[in-house]
Amino acid sequence: MDSLLDTIAGLPVHPLVVHAVVILVPLSAVGLLVCLLRGSLRDRFGILVVLGAFAGAGAAWVAQQSGERLAAHLGRPEDHARWGDRLVPVAAAFALTTLIWYAASARGRATAPVGQITGALAAVVGLAVIGLTVLVGHTGAKSAWAGRVTTPATSTSSSTSPTSSTSATSSSTSTSTSTTSPALTMAAVATHNQQSDCWAAIDGEVYDLTTWVGQHPGGASFIVQLCGTDATSAFNGQHGTQPEPNDRLQQFLIGPLAAG
C-alpha cells in the first residue's frame, strides 16, 4: 500500500490524484445543490451525486496520504498541508450526509422533516467542502509555482556573456562577504540568476544559495528557479516556520535587502 501511495508509473501519486479531488468533490456538491433546487432531478441524478461524493472523499484521503510521502522528499508546504488535512474529514462528512439525504428521498421523505433537515445539512456541508477544495488547490498551486515563473525582465537579466558568468562565479565568495547592505537591491539580486551564481531575497534578506543548489534534497531545479528573484512566497509556502530549513537558510545570509 505504501508504494502505491508514492508513485504510479514513476510519477508522484499526489499531483495525479489531486485532479480527481478538485473535480469530483465540487462537482458532487454542485450536483447536490441542483437536485435540492430541482426536486425532479433527484431521482435521475441523486445516486450519481452520492457516488461522486464518496469517490471524492476517497480521493481526498489518498491525496493527503500521498502528499505526506511526497513532503518527506520535497519538504512540507505548511498552508497546503493544513487545509488538506481539514478537507478529508469534511469530504467524508459530505459523502455521509448525501447518502442519508438520498436514502430519505428514496423512501419518499424528501418533503418530510427528516428529508428537509438532511437536505439542508448536506447543502451546508457541500458549500463548506467547495470552499475547502478551493483553498487546498490555491495553496497547493502557490507552494508549487510561487516565485518560480520568471518575468521578461528577469529573463533578460539572465542572458549574460560567458566571460561575465565566469567572472561572477569566481568572485561569488568574495562578493558574499564584502558586499555592503546598500548594494543589496533587487536589481543586484536579479543579476545573480544562474545555477553557478545564485542569490535570492527572502523576507527582506539576501542569501547566496550557490552552494546549496546541488545539495537541496528536492533537487537542484527547485532552487535554480528562485535564483535572482524574491523567493519569499515560494520559501514560506514550502517550509513555513519549519526550524530545520529556516536554520539552514541562515547559513547563506549575505545581508538585508536594500531599497532600490
The CA R_g of the chain, rounded to the nearest whole Å, is 25
pLDDT at 173 over 50: no
Same domain, 101 and 179: no
pLDDT on residue 160: 46
pLDDT at 246 over 90: no
pLDDT on residue 112: 62
- Average pLDDT in the 79-98 region? 91
Same domain, 165 and 81: no
pLDDT on residue 4: 53
- Residue with the larger pLDDT of the pair 69 and 38: 38
Same domain, 244 and 174: yes
pLDDT on residue 176: 45
- 40 DSSP assignment: G
pLDDT on residue 74: 63
Same domain, 15 and 134: yes
How does DSSP assign 152-220, residue by residue? HHHHHHT---HHHHHHHHHHHHHHHHH--GGG--HHHHHT-EETTEEEEEETTEEEE-GGGTTT-TT-H
Phi, psi of 106 (to 5 degrees): -65, -25
Same domain, 191 and 116: no
pLDDT on residue 145: 67
Same domain, 227 and 138: no
Question: For residue 238, what is the domain's CATH number?
Answer: 3.10.120.10
> Average per-residue pLDDT in the chain?
79
SS3 track for 54-88:
HHHHHHHHHHHHHHHHHHHHHCCCHHHHHHHHHHH
Same domain, 201 and 134: no
Q: Based on the structure, what is the number of domains in the chain?
A: 2
- Residue with the larger pLDDT of the pair 143 and 250: 250
pLDDT at 237 over 90: no
pLDDT on residue 110: 53
Last residue of a domain, one of 110, 145, 180: 145
Name the one residue in this structure whose C-alpha cell is 478538485. 22
- Average pLDDT in the 242-254 region? 84
Range of the domain at 28: 3-145
Do residues 189 and 199 touch, judged by C-beta distance below 8 A?
yes
Last residue of a domain, one of 130, 145, 160: 145
* 3-class DSSP state of 1: coil
At 109, list the grid cell.
421523505
AA letter at 99: L
Last residue of a domain, one of 104, 127, 145: 145
Same domain, 30 and 79: yes
Same domain, 167 and 236: yes
pLDDT at 90 over 70: yes
Same domain, 175 and 103: no
Helix (H) or strand (E) holding 35: helix 13-37
Same domain, 157 and 187: yes
Percent share of the chain, pLDDT over 70: 74
Same domain, 71 and 123: yes
Q: How far is CA 140 from CA 34, 85, 97, 230, 237, in A?
A: 29, 13, 27, 19, 9
- Residue with the larger pLDDT of the pair 256 and 241: 256
Task: Give exposure, 27-47, as e/b (b: 16+ Cβ within 10 Å).
Answer: bbbebbbebbeeeeebeeebe
- Residue with the larger pLDDT of the pair 34 and 105: 34
- Residue with the larger pLDDT of the pair 22 and 74: 22
